[in-house]
């Protein structure tokens, strides 16, 4: 019989990677993830959508999440069971595209050791596979700030940033705002989807056969993995946030 997993948030003493020394200010985080994307492209991209936040000069402030998913690259074997568990539970389908955790895009089957780049992550590199997960960002939350209809809210139980489907119009702006590109626009429902921490018991962590995924008490993991894309944010929101960050 398989061992029952304890999926309650772990205490600070259980941190796999110590990130305390790499803590970044919120101003620094906005600069890191957003500066490269603000300019002409941002103005043209966001200029096509009516922004309620921009019109009122308000930026949504979400309460902190109680937990977050922590991925240990030294344990991950790239089996991608987490992706399947995620979508089977949340969407009733086996789809890596819809998965809130992204592993497949980091397997790196090309190049790597075959081309002499043995330090490159992935199956043909150093075999260290990184799963991209939602960091459950503190304020200012990029996806929530970018949403023109305040459709990304904090879950009442877990504090996880989730999509309110009644408010979501499927514009996809949040998918461009997330630095780790872990928000997906469901082409069938025309709604955005992201990690909700499965009501405090993440299915991906339960399905992981090696213990590479853990549900832990919230800590700032934004510096733990490299960003996947520049965070495209509405310029007006950046100006508003600059006053207190």
* pLDDT, tens digit, 9 for 90 and up, residues 66-124: 999 999 999 999 999 999 999 999 999 999 999 999 998 888 765 444 444 455 667 66
CA dist 196 and 238 (Å) reads: 25
| Three-class secondary structure of residue 213 per DSSP | strand
Report pLDDT digits (tens) over 184-210. 999 999 999 999 999 999 999 999 999
CA dist 234 and 196 (Å) reads: 24
Is residue 123 within 8 A of residue 129, CB to CB? The reply is yes
* CATH class given for the domain over 12-103+131-242: alpha beta
CA dist 63 and 58 (Å) reads: 16
Model confidence band, residue 10 (pLDDT cutoffs 50, 70, 90): very low
- What pTM was computed for the model? 0.69
CA dist 207 and 100 (Å) reads: 14
* Residue 88 CA, distance from chain mean position: 19
- Mean pLDDT score of the chain: 76
Model confidence band, residue 58 (pLDDT cutoffs 50, 70, 90): low
| pLDDT at 139 (0 to 100) | 87
If residue 161 lies in a helix (H) or strand (E), which one and from where to where? strand 161-163
Provide the percentage of residues in the chain whose pLDDT is more than 90: 51
């Amino acid at each position: 019989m398989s061992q029952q997993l304890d999926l309650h948030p772990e205490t600070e003493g259980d941190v796999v990677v110590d990130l305390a020394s790499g803590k970044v200010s919120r101003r620094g985080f906005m600069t890191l993830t957003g500066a490269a994307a603000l300019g002409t492209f941002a103005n043209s991209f966001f200029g096509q959508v009516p922004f309620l936040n921009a019109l009122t000069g308000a930026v949504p402030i979400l309460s902190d999440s109680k937990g977050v998913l922590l991925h240990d690259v030294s344990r991950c074997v790239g089996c991608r069971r987490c992706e399947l568990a995620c979508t089977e539970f949340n969407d009733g389908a086996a789809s890596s595209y819809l998965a809130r955790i992204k592993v497949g895009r980091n397997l790196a089957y090309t190049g790597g050791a075959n081309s002499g780049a043995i330090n490159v992550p992935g199956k043909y590199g150093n075999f260290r596979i990184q799963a991209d997960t939602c960091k459950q960002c503190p304020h200012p939350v990029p996806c929530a700030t970018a949403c023109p209809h305040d459709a990304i809210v904090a879950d009442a139980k877990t504090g996880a940033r989730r999509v309110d489907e009644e408010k979501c119009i499927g514009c996809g702006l949040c998918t461009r705002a997330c630095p780790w590109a872990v928000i997906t626009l469901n082409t069938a429902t025309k709604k955005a989807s992201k990690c909700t921490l499965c009501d405090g018991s993440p299915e991906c962590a339960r399905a992981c056969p090696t213990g590479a995924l853990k549900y832990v008490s919230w800590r700032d993991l934004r510096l733990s993995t490299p960003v996947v894309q520049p965070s495209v944010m509405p310029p007006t929101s950046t100006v508003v946030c600059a006053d207190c960050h």
